[in-house]
Amino acid sequence: MAISIRAVGAHVSGTSELTPVIPTAQVTGDMMVCLYGTKPYSDAPTISQGWVSIGSATDGTVAAGVDVGSMQTRIFYKIATSDTETDPTITNSTNNVSIAVIIVFQKTGGGWQIPVGAGGGDATAGTGFSVTVSSDVGHTAGDMVVCASSFRSDGATPTTARTISITGCTMGTYVMGPTTDPETTSGGDMGMTCGYRPVNSGTSSAAPIITATLGAAHTGSAYAVRLRESVTTTVTPSAKNLILSLFIPVILLANNITVVPGKVDLIVSRYAPSATTETRVTPGVLAHTLTAYVPTVSIPSGATIIPGCATLNLTEYTPTLITTIIPGKVELGVISFEPNLKTVLYPGLHALSVGEFVPSCEIAVVVVPGVSYLISTKYSSMVVVGPILIPGTLVLGGGGVSGGSQAFVC
């Protein structure tokens, strides 16, 4: 991988909007960099055609005037999406004076990383201009560093001994672009110098330093941008098997809940990993196996269970309920029945046996004659109020009835 120069455009200058020219050699995929200097320092320029500002720097807050004033240096970029890009327009509503130039770079790799940069200023008037930018954005072999410096007067140009250096990096030759320093006497006057330098080897350990010898003692600001190609990686995932050896859900049910276990189908149709635009992914195929479906269900009293594909066994059913008993077609035996409430018993087609009946409350016994009979085998320590006997085939036997009064009305 290597970054190299494609072409350098002609600079433009003025006191209002600027439309810098893109070199005609530009093609799709090229990195286009626009170097822009202006005053006053507080300008907030905007740019059209999808260009993006990387950042800016100033050397102070001195108001703009002829050959005076703090300078702003700013760099924009755009990755070309067509072979013939439209020239951008830079709008600056407070423009005193400005200069712009576009440099185009080409790559050999798969793409570009987003450019990053930093800048600073030299507010001490002198011919030895020097700016250590605000941070080390990280430089290594294969990078291209592009820089621009803006001066408060056209008297500062032409410059000599202009360069950029980075501690820890061995760099190639610094090249001016344009080859003649741009300058103008419009508005409050200004000058610029621009260029680029490749990193051949090493890794940066300090922020870049931009230097130049000026034609006259002046001040200014500078900004440097790192260009870097992106690495294209092809990822081919292998086939993978996903096996669930046991599927045991735990279900907690409230009263009157119906549970119908069913089948579970899990389908994995494709393996589509998420990747950045710089990563190419060849998806594989996954196989999925469910070897068992064994639900475990915890059920409180009173729940209704309707098993489906699985079988649910209740080994013990012990509800705690207040119950009214109405016997039907089967025999109901109440061996020991001691409720603390009034109970009404209605015999049906079969015999109802009350083995021991010792309630602690008053009980109204209504006997309806039919084809069955009611036997009270043990009836003690109670008061019977108003039993009614209706003639028929029913026999009422009072075995061991004592301590009460009886009245029979026929």
Mean pLDDT computed over 97-102: 98
Cα separation, 313 vs 298, in Å, equals 11
- If one compares 264 and 89, the residue with the highest pLDDT of the two is 89
Distance CA 364, CA 346 (A): 12
What's the rounded Cα separation, in Å, for the pair 342 and 360?
10
Residue finishing a domain among 211, 230, 249: 230
pLDDT for the residue numbered 298? 63
**Residue 173: inside a domain, yes or no?**
yes
One-letter identity of residue 135: S
| End-to-end Cα spacing for the chain | 120
Of 243, 245, 246, 242, nearest in space to 285 by CA: 242
Please give the mean pLDDT across all residues of the chain.
77
pLDDT at 273 over 90: no
- Residue 154, classed as helix, strand or coil, is helix
At CA 162, angle to CA 161 and CA 166, rounded to 5? 115
Q: Would the pLDDT of 112 be above 70? A: yes
Tell me if 50 is assigned to some domain. yes
Whether residues 199 and 345 share a domain: the answer is no
pLDDT of residue 224: 98
**Domain shared by 39 and 187, yes or no:** yes
Looking only at the bridges linking them, the beta strands covering 97-106 and 31-39 are antiparallel
| pLDDT at position 109 | 82
What number is the average pLDDT over the span 8-18?
A: 96
Higher local confidence (pLDDT), 155 or 109 = 155
pLDDT band, very low/low/confident/very high, at 41 (cuts 50, 70, 90) = very high
Q: What are the DSSP calls for 113-134, one per residue?
A: PPPEEEEEEEEEEEEEEEEE-S
Provide the pLDDT for residue 110: 83
State pLDDT tens for residues 220-247.
999 999 999 997 666 566 665 666 566 5
> What average pLDDT score do residues 136-165 get?
97
pLDDT at 231: 76
Strand bridging mode 190-202 / 175-176? antiparallel
Report pLDDT for 145: 98
Looking at the structure, do residues 196 and 237 belong to the same domain, yes or no?
A: no
Q: Is the pLDDT of residue 264 over 60?
A: no
pLDDT of res. 378: 42
pLDDT at 155 over 90: yes
Who contacts 279 (Cβ-Cβ below 8 Å, separation ≥6)?
232, 233, 234, 235
pLDDT tens figures, 281-330: 455 555 555 565 555 656 666 666 565 554 445 455 455 545 445 555 54
**What is the Cα–Cα distance from 130 to 132, expressed in whole angstroms?**
7
Is position 310 within any domain? no
Overall number of domains in the chain: 3
Question: pLDDT tens digit string along 394-408?
Answer: 434 444 433 444 443
Note whether residue 174 is domain-resident: yes
Query: Residue 175 above 80 pLDDT?
Result: yes
Task: Tell me, yes or no, whether 50 and 106 share the same domain.
Answer: yes
pLDDT reading at 106 higher than 60: yes
312 lies in a domain?
no
144 shares its domain with 96: yes
Which of 205, 230, 255 is the last residue before a domain boundary? 230
Q: Are strands 396-398 and 374-376 parallel, antiparallel or unpaired?
A: parallel
Buried b (16+ CB within 10 A) or exposed e, 325-357: eebeeeeeebeeeeeeeebebebeeeebebeeb
Q: Is the pLDDT of residue 74 over 50?
A: yes
Residue where a domain stops, chosen among 198, 214, 230: 230
d(CA 408, CA 36) in angstroms, rounded, equals: 122
37, 190 in Cβ contact below 8 A?
yes
Residues 259, 220 within the same domain: no
Contact at 8 Å (CB) between 11 and 178?
yes
Please write the tens of the pLDDT for every residue from 332-381: 454 444 545 454 545 554 444 444 444 444 444 444 454 444 444 444 44
Residue 86 pLDDT more than 70?
yes
Same domain, 82 and 213: yes
- 331 located within any domain: yes
143 φ, ψ (degrees, to nearest 5): -75, 155
**pLDDT, tens digit, 9 for 90 and up, residues 191-218:** 999 999 999 999 999 999 999 999 999 9
Torsion of CA 259, 261, 262, 266, to 10 degrees: 110
Q: Which two tokens stand for residue 77?
A: 């970029």
The β-bridge partners of 243 are 289
**What pTM was computed for the model?**
0.59
C-alpha torsion sign, points 59, 63, 64, 65: negative
Containing structural domain, residue 396: 322-410
Shared domain for 251 and 153, answered yes or no, is no
If asked whether residues 241 and 222 sit together in one domain, one would say: no
The Cα–Cα gap between 37 and 76 comes to: 11
How many C-beta neighbours within 10 Å does residue 65 have?
A: 14
* 3-state secondary structure (DSSP) of residue 156: helix
Q: Is 304 helix (H, G, I), strand (E, B) or coil?
A: strand
Q: Is residue 115 located within the same domain as residue 223?
A: yes
> What is the share, in percent, of the chain residues with pLDDT greater than 90?
55
**Residue 118 and residue 61 in one domain:** yes
- The residue ranking higher by pLDDT, 262 or 178, is 178
Q: What is the pLDDT of residue 337?
A: 45
Q: Is residue 373 part of a domain?
A: yes
> Is residue 190 domain-shared with residue 59, that is, in the same domain?
yes
Query: Positive or negative, the Cα torsion across 18, 83, 24, 72?
Result: positive
Residue 313 covered by a domain: no
Residue 179 has pLDDT above 60, yes or no: yes
Q: What is the pLDDT of residue 240?
A: 59
